[in-house]
Amino acid sequence: MLNSIAFLIGTTLLYSAPLIYTALGGVISENAGVVNIGLEGMMVLGAFTAATVGYFTGNPWFAFLMAGAAGASIALFHAIACVTYTADHVISGIAINFLGPGIALFVSTIVFEGATMTIPLSLDDKIPRPLNEVFAQNSFFDIILNQYATVYLAFILVAAVWFLLYKTRFGLRIRSVGEHPRAADTLGINVIGIKYIAVLLSGMFAGFGGAAMSIAVVSNFRPTLISGQGFIALAAMIFGKWRPFGAMWACLLFGFAQGLVVFLGGKDTIAVSSQVWAMLPYIITLVILIGVVGKSEAPSADGVPFEK
């Protein structure tokens, strides 16, 4: 019984981490007034970049950083479209969601000789587990805490983003740009520059989220790896009311749903199709959004084009 509870908690943490990274990216971008529904595409490109760089270099941390760079690079297109040319944020985000997977699959077929999935990494080339062998193998605490380093880093970054947004001058500027950009402009704040930085940071975090999937949760990239995780992270951001810790708790809820799928899917005594269990996280997402959207208020200028 205890091991089952520990397995469920540990699996929840594992699957929550990629969502947390990506949701934090959405929090930063939308607090600066730029809607970013392109998180899914940024995650996909980050996942592919991490798996590819990790395979050729054997350095998981360098692969992780390059995934962030890949996410930021495609986020730049979103920033140019939405901030510089005041394009519709939703349409631009949809384009990013097509562009990211398209680039990943195209490059994959070139690098891996026609294959749309990368070659699996060895265990030594994946993100390390800092608490491995600290606890007795398969003990309660070992099952829960023997996580990849990306899990612990995700929670550290939640606190870091909260501190950035609410305890620093730069964070105040981000929030002022998202609430009253014209007022911020009259005070001499570079509204366009702040928006660009926020969108690039958003892409970087989404890239980290993709990397947490491809070189930690699993060991390679494949076309179905992300499959809606970016949209779930977006829902978590809304459920968390555009705040770092709120988004984190929402991601833990969605991670628990995924952990429940894994846990119940392995039970032979429950005669339910695996496809039905796979629907559970998305059903929970829809139910929560139905109850939350309309009650949560985004930053006042979120999605509103700014012209100096």
58-111 pLDDT, tens per residue? 999 999 999 999 999 999 999 999 999 999 999 999 999 999 999 999 999 999
Q: Which amino acid is at 280?
A: L
| pLDDT value at 55 more than 80 | yes
Q: What pLDDT digit, counting tens, does each position of 25-40 carry? A: 999 999 999 999 999 9
d(CA 40, CA 191): 26
- Kindly state the tokens that stand for 122: 């060895």
Beta carbons within 8 Å of 236's beta carbon, 6+ residues apart:
19, 23, 247, 250, 251, 253, 254
Q: How confident is the model at residue 274 (pLDDT cuts 50, 70, 90)?
A: low
Q: Please give the pLDDT value at position 42.
A: 98
Q: What percent of the chain has pLDDT over 90?
A: 75
Where do the domains of the chain lie, and which CATH numbers do they carry? 2-292 (1.10.3470)
Q: Please give the pLDDT value at position 209.
A: 98
Q: Please give the pLDDT value at position 16.
A: 96
**pLDDT, greater one: 305 or 24:** 24
| pLDDT value at 277 more than 90 | no
DSSP 270: S
**pLDDT, greater one: 227 or 107:** 107
In 3D, which of 94, 86, 72 has the Cα closest to residue 34? 86
Q: Please give the pLDDT value at position 305.
A: 85
Q: How confident is the model at residue 272 (pLDDT cuts 50, 70, 90)?
A: low
Number of H helices and E strands in the chain, helices first, is 13, 0
Long-range contacts, stretch 136-142, CB < 8 angstroms, 24+ apart: 138/3, 140/2, 140/3, 140/6, 141/6
Q: How confident is the model at residue 308 (pLDDT cuts 50, 70, 90)?
A: confident
In 3D, which of 210, 199, 203, 224 has the Cα closest to residue 43? 210
* Adjacent-strand bridge partners of 293: 296
> Mean pLDDT, to the nearest integer, of 209-226?
95
Evaluate the CA torsion angle 184, 186, 189, 194 in order and state its sign.
Answer: positive
| pLDDT value at 292 more than 70 | no
Q: What angle do CA 218, 264, 119 make, to 5 degrees?
A: 15
212 in Cβ contact with 147 (< 8 Å): no
Mean of all residue pLDDT scores within the chain? 91
301 in Cβ contact with 179 (< 8 Å): yes
Q: Is 245 helix (H, G, I), strand (E, B) or coil?
A: helix
Q: Please give the pLDDT value at position 1.
A: 77
Q: What pLDDT digit, counting tens, does each position of 163-196 carry? A: 999 999 999 999 999 999 999 999 999 999 999 9
Burial class (CB in 10 A: 0-12, 13-18, 19+), 155: middle
d(CA 189, CA 252): 36
In 3D, which of 212, 196, 209, 207 has the Cα closest to residue 68? 207
Q: What pLDDT digit, counting tens, does each position of 144-171 carry? A: 999 999 999 999 999 999 999 999 999 9
> Mean pLDDT, to the nearest integer, of 213-225?
95
Least confident segment among 1-5, 155-159, 286-290: 286-290
In 3D, which of 131, 9, 107, 1 has the Cα closest to residue 52? 107
Q: Please give the pLDDT value at position 260.
A: 83
Q: What percent of the chain has pLDDT over 70?
A: 94
